Structure 1
Amino acid sequence: MEKHIKELFTDKILEKCALAFGLKLDEVTYIGGFENFVYGFKRNEKEYILRIGHSDHREYDMITAELDWVNFLAENKADVSTPIKSIKGKLVEIVKVGDGSYFTVTTYEKAKGGRPTKENIGDDFCFEYGRAIGKLHNLTKKYKVTEGIPKRYEWHEDILFQDGTSFLPKEDKYIWEKYNELIKYLKALPIDVDSYGLIHTDIHFGNFFVNHNKITIFDFDDCSYKWFISDIAIAIFYLTAFGMDSDKRNSFVKEFLSSFMKGYNVENKLDKFWLKELKNFIKLREFTIYIVIHRSFDANNLPEWASQYKSDFKRRLEKNIPLIDLDFLEIK
């Protein structure tokens, strides 16, 4: 999060954000957040989340579009955290600040359970992971934007895909070229209701909780119109990109995807064509994380994970080495 946003976010602003949902300052507890300020609170012994974001990160129209979709999913019994209305009956509130910008405020029921860990992964969990994502994809085919609500953006309208290479140093010329080639290729892929729609785009272990294998998905901040296969690629990427060698990745993905797709297919069906494209969408996330590291961190003071990722993936991206070297169509 940019320094100037942190400076704008005073206790007075937090108090106004809390008041919009009938809360006092001492009733909210800071939890964390990377691009938003996230707080927790209790009401009638039930736990909730208060999310506060700055307009430089995401403007009101796009937050409204996000909440319209999440509310639709919740009303149709998807495995998501339900949005809660403010005391004025709104899903999104605005708190203005002195420089003319503003903060958006939203509230959700807190998901039950806790974050999953790789050590707890089994067939039942992988099945449920796939089923939960499949249900989102099936529902998004039926979603119609509520009248008066703006439409959420298309994936390629994100700055990372419009001009992502602007964040990279000149010595990464070959990575620029490979990245731009991939974006051009993806833009030419077919689009239809059975393969493309509004999706989460970031369903990794940090964005859902598990309670007795029941998954509840949250943090739809990055949702956009994109191919369904992207959500599956994201799941695979985050489970394998860190701390696994190539042989272990391949064997792990064979087992994971077998159970995952059985669950997915209970709720939604994807043409086999898209499994062939899975490597390209995994590669897209490889590029995206590499670019985000350059955009969001001081190159001379990187967190350990970012420094390791940058080192490991630079050669992989330049030479177009696949993260997972499998024929996904052969996985049963």
Structure 2
Amino acid sequence: MADIYNADFVNRLTQNIDRLKHRWDVDLDANVRLLTLSENATFLVEGRTPESTIIVRVHRPDYHTYDEIASEIAWIKALRRDSNITIPAPLPLDDGSYIASFEDDGHTRYVVAFEFITGKEPAVDKSLTAGFEVLGQISAGLHNHASQWTPPDSFIRKSWTFETSFGNNPLWGDWRQALDLEKDEQTVLEQLCVQLENKLAAYGTSSDRFGLVHADLRLANLLVDQDKLSVIDFDDCGFSWFMYDFAAAISFYEESPQIPDLITAWLKGYRTVRPLEKEHENMIPTFILFRRLLLTAWITNHSETETAIEAGLGTYTKGTVKLAQLYLNGRYLSDAVKEQTYDK
């Protein structure tokens, strides 16, 4: 459902949140304003104090089911109970449940709320390397928890595999419809698909490499507050390869000359919490291209969102083709081309 986030739709969402806000025990005069449009619409419900301010997410139509959203909340609650990772608390409604809803244009819109926590998105500068060492520790903590936690029987989340991402019914749409994709460029990406499928099949999905992951640890879903790094937005959490979490963390920055240093920092932090064999480390470039192709499809099917516009729309497609060519030639992230290829 592309191009749904027009002004009229967002205005209707805002009005419905205004009607619902009393159910989270916030000030009746709290102001409702849009924060971001990406997969979902996220709003700030701003009370008189930080303690009475909350974050409200309205889910994109026809993406997650009620049970999938309830499962996301279940994992967040377990992580908050069992780990020291800073994650905003899901907020219960006045009846103790966690998922509100309203009817709009013949569809049910699901709504969840979280506590407001302070912080800002990490800056893309030299400080990012140190931040990725901390993120590596957090990622390993998430993977440790996922490996040890027993989800409830009702737990259901999507899987991010080659088939679900690029098969006959891809979760984020078909990359072949990518904006400004030329015929010869499609040939390159078809070759990339074959390579990805073969490498992922050989790598496999045993429990030491595949499980429940956040799946969207990009910078927009991290908050820095002095020396504290918080993780938000588990909306895409699901079953995939653990190393996919690094690839998601560099979403929209795959061409940055910082990537080799970020990989090193992330791995250093990761290994202070969880063992990691070289076999898994060596798959990181493959997962970066996997994620890049997945995002190329996502941008096409969410072209009205600020995230897609900031990524460059068709320009992002061209960048994907360039990275695919480097990857297929064994040159992605190699020292020989890092400066001449990625220098900005």
Identity %: 18
2-side partners of 1:4 and 1:158: how far apart? 26
Aligned to 2:31: 27
2:208 corresponds to 1:199: no
Question: 1:176-215 alignment to 2 at 5 Å?
Answer: 176-215=190-229
Inter-CA distance 52–190: structure 2 relative to 1 (3 Å threshold): same
Match of 2:16 among 13, 18, 41: 13
Aligned to 2:340: none
Match of 2:98 among 72, 76, 91: 91
Given residue 229 of structure 2, which amino acid in structure 1 is its aligned partner? I
Question: 1:160-309 alignment to 2 at 5 Å?
Answer: 160-162=165-167, 163=170, 164-165=174-175, 167-168=177-178, 171=183, 172-236=186-250, 238-241=252-255, 244=256, 249=257, 252-297=258-303, 305-309=312-316
1-side partners of 2:98 and 2:311: how far apart? 37
Give the deviation of 1:52 after TM superposition.
0.8
Mapped contact 1:27–1:41 kept (Cα < 8 A): yes
For residues 169-190 of structure 1, give each alpha carbon's deviation from its aligned partner in whole angstroms, at most 9, with x where no partner exists.
Answer: 6822441342244135314423
2:158 corresponds to 1:139: no
Give the deviation of 1:239 after TM superposition.
4.3
1-side partners of 2:132 and 2:242: how far apart? 18
Give the deviation of 1:217 after TM superposition.
0.5
Match of 1:127 among 103, 125, 133: 133
2:113 corresponds to 1:107: yes
Unmatched 5+ stretches in structure 2:
337-344
Inter-CA distance 170–207: structure 2 relative to 1 (3 Å threshold): same
Q: Report the secondary structure of 2:43's partner residue.
A: strand
Match of 1:45 among 22, 41, 50: 50
Mapped contact 1:54–1:102 kept (Cα < 8 A): no
For residues 114-134 of structure 1, give each alpha carbon's deviation from its aligned partner in whole angstroms, at most 9, with x where no partner exists.
Answer: 111022516643321211111
For residues 289-326 of structure 1, give each alpha carbon's deviation from its aligned partner in whole angstroms, at most 9, with x where no partner exists.
Answer: 2222333338xx96672333222332432562554226
Give the deviation of 1:218 after TM superposition.
0.6
2-side partners of 1:202 and 1:158: how far apart? 19
2-side partners of 1:235 and 1:57: how far apart? 22
1-side partners of 2:298 and 2:40: how far apart? 16
Match of 2:333 among 321, 324, 330: 324
Aligned to 2:85: 78
Inter-CA distance 111–323: structure 2 relative to 1 (3 Å threshold): farther
Tell me which of the two structures has the higher relative contact order, counting C-alpha pairs closer than 8 angstroms and 6 or more residues apart: 2
Give the deviation of 1:49 after TM superposition.
0.9
Given residue 215 of structure 1, which amino acid in structure 2 is its aligned partner? L
Q: Report the secondary structure of 1:141's partner residue.
A: helix
Inter-CA distance 229–157: structure 2 relative to 1 (3 Å threshold): closer
Normalising to structure 2: TM-score of the pair? Answer: 0.80
For residues 3-34 of structure 1, give each alpha carbon's deviation from its aligned partner in whole angstroms, at most 9, with x where no partner exists.
Answer: 44655551543334434424447432221221
Give the deviation of 1:105 after TM superposition.
0.9
Q: Report the secondary structure of 1:75's partner residue.
A: helix
Aligned to 1:330: none
Unmatched 5+ stretches in structure 1:
328-332
Q: Report the secondary structure of 1:64's partner residue.
A: helix
2-side partners of 1:98 and 1:198: how far apart? 34
Please give the root-mean-square deviation of Cα atoms over the aligned residues, in Å: 3.0
2-side partners of 1:153 and 1:307: how far apart? 27
